[in-house]
Chains A and B, each alone.
Chain A
Amino acid sequence: MSDQTKYANQIAIVKEECPNADEEEIGKEFARYEGDFLIPPEDALRSVIRKFQVSTGVEVSADKSPPVREEKKVDRFSELDADDRNVAIEVAVVSYTPRTQMVRGEEKQIAFGWVEDNPHEASSERVRWDYKDWGNKGESMIPGSVVRLEGASVNEWNGKRSLNVNRTTRVTVVKEGSGSAPPTSNEPLNIARASEVEGFVNVVGRVMSAKSDVIIRKDGSGEIPIVRGRISDSSGSIGFLSWKDFEHEVGSLVKIVGASVRKFLETPEIQINDGTVIEAYHDTSFPEVSELAKSEKVSIADLRNGMRDVSITLQVESWVQRSFESQNGESKTVRSGDVMDPSGRCRLTAWCEFDPSPGETIMIEGGRVQFWQGSPDLVIDDMNQVKVLSESPWDAIDPQNHWVEVDLTSLTQGGSRRGISTSGSIVMIRPDSGMIERCPECRRVIRDGSCSEHGSKIGEEDLRLRFVLDDGISNASLILGRETSEAFLGMGMDDVKSEISNVGREVFVSNLKNRILARKMGVHGRCLVDGQGAMLMAERVEILVPGPKEEAEEVMKRWEVEI
């Protein structure tokens, strides 16, 4: 069937509007929309007509952007005219009264009240106007505060002027009002939620452990008695540190009111101070210690810097011991190795005579976590903290091929991990991708012939690619070191270097962009997470070949959609 027959109905409509247009051309255009853009003819109608209006000389209105009004900055209301639209002024908010009003038949939340100009002077020097807030600025326009309004407009009605705060008006708080502080809830949070906040919380939980301890003052002026322990509920478990007596036994259920959650390294901890109230709590349906203890066991994916009291089961991958001389001349031995579980892999360091064989399954209780090169390192100090299990709770893991697939959001919201694979779309190729020079002492990148730490240096050449990986919900920096880059580009560093010197870095990056931007990439490697976001150090990357049919079937199944 020719385009002309297939699209006859649509062509007829276009001909009515653009009599000079050629039917064959119109047919081709519909075929193009359907074949190349996947837009069926009925949806493409307006686009096609628009095109032929332009090409056959029917004039189409051009630029439609409205004239931009210049901002008028004033200090006093008296400087304003009745038709001023884009006004910037600082005012004191006197009152704010929200009200629901019908606007164009639609219920809208608006507010009205008084504002005064000249806000930094005594009120006898101020002029008071009415205002209306059309833009839900209640969070900023708190009575008693001073705000800067940008993009407000003047309204005049029956000779009386007032100010309109519009949706597009920018409200910046210059001085906060003392009026209403945000209300704090007295409701207890569950422990999982309390672990995510910093500040005062109330929690209900069962005491899982409590041990007296001391903190030695650094200045040598003595010791402070404290109690350390953990409390749990069905959502999770959190350590606590009490600076006062803690008289509740292991197993008792308590409500802690007014404790503060602080982070020790990356691990949240509840701090119990003089102002904190701890009371016995009664709830017969609250899980018992034995039940909560089961969920206390963690996996490698859960490890965070600063954790204590860690219970975990692991498979040993490798083990070495090393002797060194400590600062006071004593000879010391440290043993360490790589360990795995189904959620990933990490290091284990033992400051005791623990010598497992590769492949053995071990269980740790009371371990602690510190970080080593940005990845978690489990530490045991005492043989009592570890035992070798005769049976593994999981099928033996093959260390050669142990990659745990984790989606980008779980990665960015979790802790640093090794041995992971993930995927997302490339949304940026950083312009400094390509050849770099590193400081021979600290491996930092040298800029303009100088290291930020070691000053002017002759750098060592290295190859590095930097992307941003994004799955629509989360994103992470993605870094390919020399070997990974060489494998991905399919060329050695010297070839990359000569290409960049031939075409220039910009063209090199631009070519890379055309090849991979918006394409999906699979990544194997490790992930470092800190306060600045997540960084993936790739060992291997690949462009994933799109399979829209299979992808569509999977998504339709997930959301139970049928065509």
Chain B
Amino acid sequence: MMSTSGVRVGRQSSIRIFAQEYSESSLVERGIGEFAPSFVITKLGARVNRCLICGGLERMERRDGDSGPYYAGQLRDPSGTHYFNVAPFQPELHPDAEELLARFETGDSVLVSMIGRQQTRESEDGGIFTSIRAESFTEIDIETYKSWMVEAADATLRRLSAYDSSQGAELTEEGLRNAGIPNDLVSGLVKSRQHYSEFDTEAYRVWVLKAFSRALGRAEDTEEIVSNNDFEPAIETTVQSNEGADPRDVILGIMGSNGGELVGYDDLVAACISAGSSGEAAEDAIEHLRDVTMEISEPRFGFFSSSS
């Protein structure tokens, strides 16, 4: 691959990353020049152009677009959901996608490993939605999946450690290098620290612990500490971020501007996260608006509309 200046661009390595870290990202670094790679930069400073992800296949469908058929699906990992697609211009992957679709439609549980490239789109109000364009994928067994979870946990802990070291260091590449941050994380971390407001890293540690617990085969243990009547998956109490947009305003803004259509829960949470609030704050805001101020209603589970 050549960039316009004639300098060969090395192949981008495949970042191991859990779905939640990737989906919370709202910073895109676009390459200048025809073949220059673009990156999604996560809050922890991972510069993602290519990634290696795994998860349970939760959805897989074939759709027809203007430029031909394409495939869209979701992979579920301990932290959340990766959205991926196989584009119309990747006909070489369509046989594999058909096969995966057939496997999905049998109702069997399919664990998938996927190498893919970053992909983003921006909503009208500036929210960034991240997804993954598949490059290759295959079904894997549960041991390989567990092994990937450990690798992704390792990579996440490495980024968390670099993020911690960057606190108090001068926010330049030289400054972070002097703080002992590995070379591959330096430029992403400078940009992420400038772009994102301070946030609580505790949630990241929670998925890492979940991943370890599954890899060690201790899924049974965690079940007992689960509260049964809690509607929301986020049981961990996290300090609510004071910074960032008030998620209630973001939600009401979306409700007010979409002409009364129902809006999905995940979309609302994603929009709030893009606007700078935490996932927990977004979920609290949805409940607050629904149950306390009754400004929104949930005519169908998981889908909301404005009450007025």
Contacts and interface: CB of A to CB of B under 8 A. Distances in A.
Interface in B4-56: 8, 10-16, 27-28, 30, 32, 50, 52, 54-56
B179 interface: no
Contact of A552 (B10, B150, B245): B150
B143 A548 contact: yes
Nearest to A510: B96
Contacts of A167: 27-28, 122, 126, 128
Given A38-B214, A563-B212, A563-B218, A49 B30 contact: no
B301 A39 contact: no
A36 B54 CA distance: 13
B11 A475 contact: yes
B245 A104 contact: yes
B139 A38 contact: no
Given A39-B56, A518-B115, A474 B122 contact: no
A473 B115 contact: no
B58 A47 contact: yes
A559 interface: yes
B259 interface: no
A209 interface: no
B122 A168 contact: yes
B202 interface: no
Interface in A516-546: 517-520, 531-533, 545-546
B138 interface: yes
B126 A548 contact: no
A355 interface: no
B153 A555 contact: yes
Interface majority SS (helix, strand, loop, mixed), chain A: mixed
A34 interface: yes
Contact of B157 (A104, A531, A561): A561
B202 to A, nearest CB: 13
B246 interface: yes
A136 B261 CA distance: 34
Interface stretch (A57-65, A229-237, A456-464): A57-65
Contact of B264 (A18, A61, A109): A61
Given A36-B109, A549-B216, A517 B136 contact: yes
Contacts of A552: 146, 150, 153, 212, 215-216
A9 interface: yes
- The secondary-structure label for the interface of chain B is mixed
Interface in B191-235: 194-195, 197, 205, 208-209, 212-219, 222-223, 226-231, 233, 235
Contacts, number: 225
A33 B215 contact: no
B138 A518 contact: yes
A36 B111 contact: yes
A82 B56 CA distance: 47
Contacts of B227: 42
B288 interface: no
B25 to A, nearest CB: 12
Interface string B132-159: 0001111110111111111101110110
A136 B193 CA distance: 13
A53 interface: yes
B212 A561 contact: yes
Contacts of B229: 9
Contacts of B126: 134, 166-167
Nearest to B231: A13
Given A551-B147, A561-B209, A473 B244 contact: no
Contacts of A549: 215-217
Interface string A16-38: 11100000000000001111111
Contacts of B184: 409, 473-474
B144 A106 contact: no
A45 B161 contact: no
A45 B136 CA distance: 29
A547 B245 contact: no
A424 B128 CA distance: 32
Interface of B: 8, 10-16, 27-28, 30, 32, 50, 52, 54-56, 58, 63, 76, 78, 81, 95-96, 109, 111, 113-115, 121-124, 126, 128, 135-140, 142-151, 153-155, 157-158, 161, 182, 184, 194-195, 197, 205, 208-209, 212-219, 222-223, 226-231, 233, 235, 243-246, 249-250, 261-262, 264-267, 275-276, 300-303
